[in-house]
Amino acid sequence: MGNLKSNANLPRLLLFFFICSVAYTLPDSPSDIAELTSARVLFKQGKFQDAAAAYRVILEKNRSSAPAYAGLVQSYLKADDVVAADEASGRAMTALPQSALVHAVHADVYFRKGVLAEAEAEYRTALKLDEKCARARLGMGKILSAVSDSTHAKEYFSKAHEFDPDDGDALYHWAVLLPYPQSVSELEKHLSEYHSSPEEERREREFVELVRGIGDREIWVGPKDTPENAIKLELLTPRPGTILGLGMRVKFNNTVNATLLLDTGTSWMTIPRKLAEKLGARKISDYAIEGVGDSGPGGGYFAWVDKITVGDVEFHDCVVHVTLKSNAAGVDGIAGTNIFSKYQVTIDFPRRELRLAQLPPSISAVGDLAVHPVTEGHAGTPFSFGHIMLLSTLVNHSLAGLFVLDSGANISSISPQMAQKLGKLQETTNRVAGSSGAINKVSVLGDAVLEFSGAPEPKRDLAAFDPGSLSRQLGTEVSGFIGFDVLSRMKLRIDYRDGMVEF
């Protein structure tokens, strides 16, 4: 009889749990839906602070609205208020711990903070709760892209757009990977329907114009057979006591010779307008050149160069950046190492030599997680964000961050936000020059230790300054730069295809 009584009560228990579940995941009311729609309109118009305020009003009445929490967090992130986004996502997790969407936007905050292992774990949790969660699909696509798994990243971006066609970020990441000319039409749709800051919209317009100008042409076409090639480099010392880095001799169109600063932190090549006009470079589209510095973006444009020769390696149909500013450092321009992305690249800094070799067979990632926390001993893990390589780096054996591998910076540096957590900053009268002018506010973190190469690093002073808009552009926190002063005693190997860096 006892069992029969228990069974008789089972429907009641199920009804109780059902009622609790309904109360816990209460659907948005018609008025909430109307307010969500209005907030979404503000978001798409690029009025992120107004959108955040609208989402807060909804949450004051209904603290179980996952879309309102998601909209609030995304509004803060778009406004680059990471602290507010972090606090809002924490409240959302407390209120709705079983919501896939809430886990996904919580992961978005982790991604923006540069803790990619935690971001990946949250995206995977969201997908376990709801495999059709578009925001989680998008996030996993970004994770896979960062670890150079472009094939699977593309699949995740496509599914994210399929599951939520109204997500502007999903539309953008999907559109970028489409073939020409479909990519241009979809990117133009994104530009017309989803607005952001003037700087972000300018960058997107420049990108669309570049894609339209290139069309379906292959660029930077190198030799069919991989050259076993050693290219001599030279030390660049524009004035006594100043070392910029290593220079590489380049010939343009078989006629014009130049020495360019070898830079692992930039893309393609950047040359001044005077040199571009001398060699007959043809303009493709406008491009505002950005980088470290207080002067803001500089005028420039993309241009075609028919032929560029580096050592014995000839490239055809090359796209270069042309800057309207003269280079105060006195070099002829900058050469990004990603022009060799189809080869395995070895830079031997002490021997001043760059070597190219055939890429090894591709190695698939092992394990369920693509990203591992730095605290587990994975300092030095590389992440690819376009042409920029970020290395997980441990500072003073305690604090982890993402540092740009940047041989074009003659000194290594750290962001003030990270530096202030590690020790007292010293004032300095030194100034740092970047591609966007001088940086006037520079401090120093003394006796810092960087761990990224697997070898013990000596203590050194790190310049502390704001890396500018780079973190906002990449969508993840940049904590500093590993510059030539550190790399000059190393030999490193880069495989752009698989996103590998070895020291």
Torsion angle, alpha carbons of 100, 187, 86, 378, to 10: 80
238/435 Cα distance (integer angstroms) = 16
- For the chain, domain boundaries: 25-174, 180-215, 229-355, 374-502
Q: What's residue 298's pLDDT?
A: 74
What tens digit of pLDDT does each residue of 292-319 get? 655 566 789 999 999 999 988 999 999 9
Sign of CA dihedral 77, 83, 88, 91: positive
Q: What's residue 20's pLDDT?
A: 31
The answer to whether the beta carbons of residues 488 and 406 sit under 8 Å apart is no
Find the mean pLDDT for residues 433-441. 61
Torsion angle, alpha carbons of 257, 263, 267, 268, to 10: 20
Sign of CA dihedral 399, 405, 409, 411: positive
Distances 14 to 9, 90, 230, 300 between C-alpha atoms, Å: 9, 30, 73, 67
Task: Indicate the pTM of the whole model.
Answer: 0.89
Most confident option among 12-26, 91-105, 369-383, 452-466: 91-105
Of 189-198, 423-432, 435-444, 486-495, the one with minimum mean pLDDT is 435-444
Q: What's residue 3's pLDDT?
A: 36
Does position 18 have pLDDT exceeding 50, yes or no?
A: no
Residues 6 or more apart whose Cβ sits within 8 Å of residue 346: 354, 355, 356, 357, 491, 492, 493, 494
3-state secondary structure 389-409: EEEEEEECCCEEEEEEECCCC
Does position 430 have pLDDT exceeding 80, yes or no?
A: no
Output 433 or 157, whichever has higher pLDDT: 157
Residue 303's DSSP bridge partners are 283, 320
Is 3.40.50.150 the CATH number for 25-174? no
Question: In the numeric block, which tokens belong to residue 298?
Answer: 């500089």
Question: In the numeric block, which tokens belong to residue 223?
Answer: 């030799």
Does position 59 have pLDDT exceeding 70, yes or no?
A: yes
Is 25-174's fold the same as 374-502's? no
Selected from 2.20.25.240, 2.40.70.10, 2.60.120.10, 3.50.50.60, the CATH number assigned to the domain covering 229-355 reads: 2.40.70.10
Output 425 or 276, whichever has higher pLDDT: 276
What tens digit of pLDDT does each residue of 361-381 get? 877 654 567 777 765 556 789
Overall CATH class of domain 374-502: mainly beta
Q: Which amino acid is at 358?
A: Q
Find the mean pLDDT for residues 340-359. 94
Q: What's residue 320's pLDDT?
A: 96
